[in-house]
Amino acid sequence: MSSLQITGLRTLPEVGAGADLSRLIVDATQKEAAGLQTGDVVVVTQKVVSKAEDRIVDLRTVKPSAFAKSLAQQWEKDPRQVEVILRETRRIVRMDQGVLIMETHHGFVCANAGVDRSNVPGDDNVSLLPVDPDRSAEEIRRGLGVEAAVIISDTFGRPWREGTTEVAIGVAGMDPLWDYRGRRDAYGYVLRSTEVAVADMLASAAGLVMEKASRVPVAIVRGFPFETGEGGGRRLLRAPTKDLFR
């Protein structure tokens, strides 16, 4: 039966620094999805992981550099926030029309190097991406008590298309990329270039039950036959030498 069930968890309490996310997820799943089961994929938003790991910066403590001030003035941004963005940045990919597309120290290419003001308590607080989202995913996974996979999701824009989708910035317990190269299609034709980013597709599927303005930071995908695999979300990052758009 090729059927999936996706359930957004509504009863997670407010998450603060040091929170035990695994335990909170197990408790909420018991109330809302008949308990966590072997084979579930647990999708957790970056925001709640960053809060638990205290990756929150109070902008009142930030002294912007001259470069940050200059950029901020040019694009009407908060110079303190631009300073935090630059600290998270390995390389500036594009800087135009008020948009900062950055490559982070992890290798993610995204707006503002993942620094974000939304869904963080406190008027002057911004959140940073986790230091190592694959490790964050693995730590959550270990605490679940069943053989489940964990994906840390974040909201990224993309070239050429309007609107954001969700991507997997951290992955544990599953192969994030399915390789169909060499397999045959339904007519016997040998597929040549198809690798499927299943972890990103799972992140987007989970995003459908996580409304932006509400507190649904975790979703359970049940019924997806993932394969166990190594390498985590890092495997979804294209090497700069293979990339035509940097």
**Site for a second copy, residues 86 to 105, rule: CB under 8 A:** 94, 96-97, 99, 101
Q: Does 186 bind a second copy (CB under 8 A)?
A: yes
Contact 227/178 with Cβ under 8 angstroms?
A: yes
Candidates 69, 87, 90, 215; binder of a second copy (CB under 8 A) is: 215
Backbone angle region of 148, left / alpha / beta, with phi > 0 → left and psi within -120 to 50 → alpha: beta
**How many residues sit in the footprint of a second copy (CB under 8 A)?**
73
For residue 142, the minimal CB distance to a second copy (Å) is 25
Find the part of the chain contacting a second copy (CB under 8 A) among 79-87, 127-135, 140-148, 176-184: 176-184
Q: Is 30 in the site for a second copy (CB under 8 A)?
A: no
Segment 219 to 238, residues that bind a second copy, using CB under 8 A:
224, 235-238
Does 182 participate in binding a second copy (rule CB under 8 A)?
no
Per CB under 8 A, the list member of 59, 109, 150, 171 interacting with a second copy is 109
Helix (H, G, I), strand (E, B) or coil at 220: strand
Q: Does 212 bind a second copy (CB under 8 A)?
A: yes
Amino acid letter, 186: A
The count of other CB atoms within 10 Å of the CB of residue 1 is 4
Give the single-character DSSP code of 76: T
Among 61, 63, 187, 228, binds a second copy (CB under 8 A): 187
For position 18 contacting a second copy by CB under 8 A, the verdict is no
DSSP state of 95: E
208 binds a second copy (CB under 8 A): yes
**Six token digits for residue 243:** 């990339």
Amino acid at 222: R
Which residues are paired to 57 by β-bridges?
126
x/- contact string, 44-73, with a second copy (CB under 8 A)?
Answer: ------------------------------
CB 101 within 8 A of CB 93: yes
Q: Give the one residue of 167, 171, 172, 174 binding a second copy; rule: CB under 8 A.
A: 167
> For 182, phi and psi rounded to 5 degrees?
95, -20
Token look-up 């964990």 returns: 150
**Spatial distance between the Cα atoms of 142 and 73, rounded to a whole number of angstroms:** 45
Please, which of residues 137-156 interact with a second copy by CB under 8 A? Answer: 155
CB closer to a second copy, 84 vs 139: 84
* Structural tokens at position 241: 């030498």
User: Exactly one of 7, 29, 127, 136 binds a second copy (CB under 8 A); which one?
Assistant: 7
Q: Are 129 and 106 in contact (CB under 8 A)?
A: yes
Cβ proximity to a second copy, 140 vs 167, nearer residue: 167
